[in-house]
Amino acid sequence: MLGRVNHVAIAVPDMEKGIAAYRDTLGATVSEVQKLPEHGVSVVFVELPNTKVELLEPLGENSPIAAFLEKNPSGGMHHICYEVEDILAARDQLKATGARVLGDGTPKIGAHGKPVLFLHPKDFFGTLIELEQV
């Protein structure tokens, strides 16, 4: 079911500082900031030869990232995203095994313009999992 790692997401309390750390300190290529109001976040992607790192910053008070940063004020790893060929088939297979899909189970369009779903971290050893259809 799982394909390659699409990205690892890191919540940051200050996007500009996060960009500077990856671009200026680590020498990475960083995308432009993208606002995703339907997900309550602003994101940038750090381009790496084999995958990406996504930096997430809250967009508004009701952002799920704001709640994460309240518990982790310095920021930290938020989720890992895996690619899947067919997100609906993956969802159905996971649900059949008892895994919990967050929300109503309907994929939303993510930052790459592709359907995404999130899986409950309690089912995956404390790690929030994002699935993205390729």
Tokens describing residue 111: 């930052």
Told to judge if 130 belongs to the known catalytic residues of this protein, a careful annotator would answer yes
Q: Which residue has the tokens 């310095």?
A: 74
Distance CA 122, CA 127 (A): 7
Task: Pick the catalytic residue from 54, 57, 83, 130.
Answer: 130
Q: Where are the alpha helices (DSSP H) in 1-134?
A: 15-20, 64-71, 87-96
Backbone angles phi, psi at 94, to 5 degrees: -65, -45
Q: Facing residues of 53 across strands?
A: 8, 46
CB 15 within 8 Å of CB 56: no
Q: Which residues are catalytic?
A: 130
